[in-house]
A and B are shown apart, each in its own frame.
Chain A
Amino acid sequence: MAAVSLDHVLALAAVLFAVGFVGLLTRRNLIVVLACIEIMLNAAGLAFVAAGARWGQADGQVMFLFVLAMAAAEVAVGLALAIRFRQAMKSLDVDDADRLRG
């Protein structure tokens, strides 16, 4: 199996992060927003793993485990927020939550 170069993996991570970020900015459904955040987290995780493999260190993989654990916690909190959001706003459209205006 030909080794995938670090540049390619980082490029993939960047593209994934960008996809997630653009989704975060453009989508209004709260569930999709949460999914986009997951994509961005995984992009970061991918970068960690690739960097760990490049320098032969285990730290990258350890960090990814942290990211996974954190993502799980985030999903729990995020979905709970989504339920509260739905109850408060009678919708899942994030633009309905604009009471924080000046």
Chain B
Amino acid sequence: MLSLLWLIPALPAAGSVLLVLFGRRLGRGGTAWVGTGSVSLSAVLALLVCGSFLAAPPAGDAYRQVLWTWFDVGGFAPAIGLHLDAVSIVWVLVITVVGFLIHLYSVEHMERDDGFTRFFIYMDLFVFSMLVLVLADNLLLLYLGWEGVGLCSYLLIAFWQEDAQNVYSGRKAFIVTRVGDTALIAGLFLLFTHYHTLEIGQLMHLVASRSPAPDSGVVLAAGLLLLGGAVGKSAQAPLQTWLPDAMAGPSPVSALIHAATMVTAGVYLIARTNVLYTLAPDARLAVAIVGTVTLLLAGFSALVQRDLKRALAYSTISQIGYMFLALGVSGWEAAVFHFMTHAFFKALLFLAAGVVIVALADEHDIFRMGGLRRELPAVFATFTVGAAALAALPLVTDGFYSKDLIIATSLGSVDGGAWFYVASLIGAFVTGLYSFRLVWLVFFGARRTEVSRRPRWRQLVPLYALAALSVTGGFVWMPAWLGGFEPLRKLLDTALPPAPMEGAAAHFAESVGAALITILVVAAGVGLSYVLWMPRRERTQAFAAAPSVQPLVALWLGGWGFDWFYERVFVRPVKRFAHWARHDLVDHVVGGIAWLNLAGWRGLSAGQNGRLRGYLAVTGLGVVLVLAVVVLR
């Protein structure tokens, strides 16, 4: 069974190629079958393969399948090889299962779109690239998948390319993540120069065996460079600015790429190379600080957004900030756990938001929604489940188990501390505020826009399925005070080092008391959001519009001015330079050659005036000249 591993990424790739070749002949029905079918087969296969892996773990708790040697140059021979272990299992299952649900949803969501086939080509290509990323056994192949998902992200953000703004957003996402990608490839170069291999297992072994003495600088630099790549791809500060604009793409894209899978590639990368960070405490600290700063910045930004999808985008940034914080305090497993639960509830939220936006004829402004509770009851129920999971409502949502674990780790880990703990609690409070703000504003109150379209089964089934996962997904890792049923932890222990929970702080962090604090903070956030946006909605809006508060709201709305700053420091100077460079010396040389040819053509063409007498005169003159030369010589 395990040997079928290669088929998991190959099926979506085949689907994409099929659609490229025969998409026009297949029609919409055929396209939907090929596009969704290939991912569903991949999901079934992933379940079978991972099931057989879990039933009978192979030696070393990892399965490696080398398909062929990519190239072989100067002793460097990276393989096209797949590596399946506990970490990749979690990612593969989420990508294929959530990916399948989102594909199914897209069939209905995109049914009236002219680019139906193009959409599924890109989506299948994305699933393939993402699977390559998480299954790669060497960093170079991982980088191939990394760039592949970046390309698909660009293509899908700019999917509705008739609108220049969408294309701009796509370009922005591509270029901003490219900044991180450059750091990543530099990190790969550095690792290769020092260890002469990029095969992950071997590389980590080498790093661990040769550290700390001679290589600590290299390890630190590599860790920071890889963090740079992760920061770009996972939209962490200071490269988070592309993700809110990425909401220009269709909602299923936001759900699959910009919430569930691609943006967590950075988390995967750091979890996969955890040895580097274990050996470089400064790099680890940098990860934790990036995560903490991001989760707070994005949380406050999410609080004031008017666009439903932008609010969700900021919440995604904030939740990935939690994952980075967990990674930074050595809570590798907690980060993977939160990735999984986040994929469920955030995909759910985006899909539900997509239904709402389409139902209201492309209305994105939450202040023009309202009262949809009775109009779209299924969406209301599932969105509320998603929002509850996002807010980490205790016990009944998966978000609670993973977020509480991160909060506990941020305090109890030997790398943790009070600062991280307080910041993550503030983040949990803000999350409660903004997640339920969306529920109150969209589904309660007076109805402001007519519902023009209602979801059918292809959209409802994924919503219900993801809602079910958002409730039950957390039960695979219960805290000790709830009985300590933790199969996910046991699975991840085979691939990742457990979080170093030691001392009195750890004892407290894992106790009921700490959990009660988390629950109280979350409850306070949700309760306050009820007060602010249900009975006192008008007063809250008046307060937000007051002159003394307005600058702060504007600052949060614009994402803390990062865009403003980058626009002035990078975008405009580059544009000005590009404008100036249009007329540089090289242009003059090339233009000069063209001008010379043009002038020559004009001169010769002037002689061809059609007057035969003129031709004759010149011919005669020539004859006389030749004769004169011959005779007088």
Contacts and interface: CB of A to CB of B under 8 A. Distances in A.
Nearest to B606: A102
Contacts of A21: 620
B617 A100 contact: no
Contacts of B620: 21, 25
B610 A101 contact: yes
Interface in B598-615: 604-605, 607-613
Nearest to B615: A100
A94 B605 CA distance: 21
B628 interface: no
B610 A98 contact: yes
B164 interface: no
Nearest to B611: A98
B611 A95 contact: yes
Interface string B609-627: 1111100110010000000
A57 B123 CA distance: 98
A99 B608 CA distance: 10
B610 A24 contact: no
Nearest to A99: B610
Interface string A1-39: 000000000000000000001001100100000000000
Interface in A80-102: 94-95, 97-102
A102 B604 contact: yes
A94 B612 contact: yes
A102 B607 CA distance: 8
A100 B613 contact: no
Contacts of A25: 613, 616-617, 620
Contact of A98 (B604, B605, B607, B609): B609
Interface in A42-83: none
Contacts of A102: 604-605, 607-609
A73 B607 CA distance: 32
B616 A100 contact: no
A82 to B, nearest CB: 14
A94 B617 CA distance: 14
Interface residues of B, number: 12
Contacts of A24: 613, 616
A101 B616 contact: no
Given A25-B620, A102-B604, A94 B609 contact: no
A102 B616 CA distance: 16
A100 B605 contact: no
Contacts of A97: 610, 612
Nearest to A21: B620
Contacts of B604: 102
Contacts of B609: 98, 101-102
A99 B620 CA distance: 22
Contacts of B610: 97-101
Contacts of A100: 608, 610, 612
A95 B607 CA distance: 15
B317 to A, nearest CB: 66
Contacts of A95: 611, 613
Nearest to A24: B616
B69 to A, nearest CB: 61
Contacts of B608: 100-102
A101 B20 CA distance: 52
A12 B583 CA distance: 66
Contacts of A94: 612-613
Interface string B157-188: 00000000000000000000000000000000
A27 to B, nearest CB: 9
Contacts of B612: 94, 97, 100
A93 to B, nearest CB: 11
Contacts of A101: 608-610
Contacts of B611: 95, 98
A95 B613 CA distance: 8
Nearest to A95: B611
B609 to A, nearest CB: 5
Contacts of B613: 24-25, 28, 94-95
A95 B610 CA distance: 8
A101 B609 CA distance: 4
A21 B616 CA distance: 9
11 contacts: A24-B613, A24-B616, A25-B617, A25-B620, A94-B613, A97-B612, A98-B609, A100-B612, A101-B610, A102-B608, A102-B609
Given A97-B610, A100-B610, 17 more contacts: A21-B620, A24-B613, A24-B616, A25-B613, A25-B617, A25-B620, A28-B613, A94-B613, A95-B613, A97-B612, A98-B609, A100-B612, A101-B608, A101-B609, A101-B610, A102-B604, A102-B605
Interface of B: 604-605, 607-613, 616-617, 620
For the complex of A and B, list the 6 residue pairs with the smallest distance between their C-beta atoms, beginning with the closest.
A102-B608, A98-B610, A101-B610, A100-B610, A102-B605, A101-B609
